[in-house]
Amino acid sequence: MKDPHVEPLDPELAALLDSERHAGADPSALDRVWKRVVLPLPASGAAASGSGLHRSWLASHAVGVAAASFVVGGITGAGIYAAVQKPAPEHIVYVERPAPVAASVPAMSTENPTAPPPADSGSSAARASSSARPSQSAPASTLSAERALLDQARAALTSGDGAKALSIAEEHRRRFPSAQLDEEREAIAIQALVAIGRYDEARARAARFRESAPNSLFLPAIEASVASIP
């Protein structure tokens, strides 16, 4: 990457930045993040999806995996830690290509961190206009509040308190009518309904979910939960 309009960086600073370019990430932390993104509960029927991630992750980071690596259930983060001690550099190599006729790379407005990326018309005026358009979704602070509430619901469900989990899920629905984590909430609520024996409601809610979000990453967990109804 050389830009004729940019002077070469001081070599000492460039070496420092090269070191940062090779920074890794704690795989056990990423493992937890992934589970929160796609799995309402660690022990849900969708755990197989998580395992799929681990397999994929191992496949791409497997060099040097120690014999001490182990898998307990779906949790492999600690076991694969050694595999990512020397992660591949993140540096991107660009291949020049013609600009698309209608590029739609998002112009980033920090005013609305979670708004859908606006289309880029190619003019700075249009960019300024599009990046300043009103929010269509909740800000990140709301997302944080949603996350915190659903973490409580998840914890209640994990501890066997389905009624409390359902109550918190319903609170989430009331507080966040345009929720960003609505699919996660529904997955928790349906599993809570199953847990407390309200099977007909669980089936009905699962059917609505299946219809409204047929490609949801949470659907396998919901299907597994409904399938477990005696």
Partner 1 sequence: MVDAPRAEPLDLRELFTMHAPYVWNSLRRLGVLASDLEDLTHDVFVQVQRHLGEYDASRPLRPWLFGFAFRIASQYWRRAHRRRERSADAAVARAVDPSALPDQRLAAEQDRQLVLSALEAIDLDRRAVFVLYEIDGVPMAEIARLLGIPVNTAYSRLRVARTEFAAAVRRLRRSER
Is residue 37 within the footprint of partner 1 (CB under 8 A)?
A: yes
CB of 138 to partner 1, least distance (A): 11
- Single out the residue of 39, 41, 80, 84 in contact with partner 1 (rule: CB under 8 A): 84
Least gap, CB of 33 to partner 1 (angstroms): 5
Q: What is the distance between the alpha carbons of residues 118 and 126, in angstroms, rounded to a whole number?
A: 10
The tokens describing 230, both together, are 């005696």
Stretch of 91-99, 169-177, 192-200, 220-228 lying at the interface with partner 1 (CB under 8 A): 91-99
Q: Which residue has the tokens 């309402």?
A: 40
Residue 51 within binding range of partner 1, rule CB under 8 A: no
1 binds partner 1 (CB under 8 A): yes
CA–CA distances in Å: residue 135 to residues 108, 130, 145 = 13, 11, 18
Interacting positions 96-155 with partner 1 (CB under 8 A): 97, 100, 103-110, 112-118, 120, 124, 127-128, 130-131, 137, 139-141, 143-144, 147
| Selected range binding partner 1 among 5-13, 39-47, 73-81, 152-160, rule: CB under 8 A | 5-13
Q: Using the minimum distance from each CB to partner 1, give the nearer residue, 19 or 200.
A: 19
The first and second tokens of residue 66, run together, are 């120690």
Pick from 44, 47, 57, 168: which binds partner 1 (CB under 8 A)? 57
CA distances from 136 to 53, 112, 117 (A): 31, 9, 11
- Residue number, 147 or 164, with CB nearest to partner 1: 147
Give the tokens for residue 152.
């409580």
Identity of the residue, 30 or 196, whose beta carbon is nearer to partner 1 in the bound complex = 30
- Minimum CB–partner distance for residue 197 and partner 1 (Å): 31
Instruction: For residue 174, state whether it binds partner 1 (rule: CB under 8 A).
Output: no
Using alpha carbons only, what angle is made at residue 186 by residues 180 and 188, rounded to the nearest 5 degrees? 110
User: Closer to partner 1 at the Cβ: 69 or 167?
Assistant: 69
H-type alpha helices, 39-85: 47-61
Stretch that binds partner 1, among 89-97, 152-160, 194-202, 206-214 (CB under 8 A): 89-97
48 sits near partner 1 (criterion: CB under 8 A): no
Q: How far is CA 96 from CA 5, 8, 93, 101, 120, in A?
A: 17, 21, 10, 15, 20
Burial class (CB in 10 A: 0-12, 13-18, 19+), 213: middle
SS3 63: coil
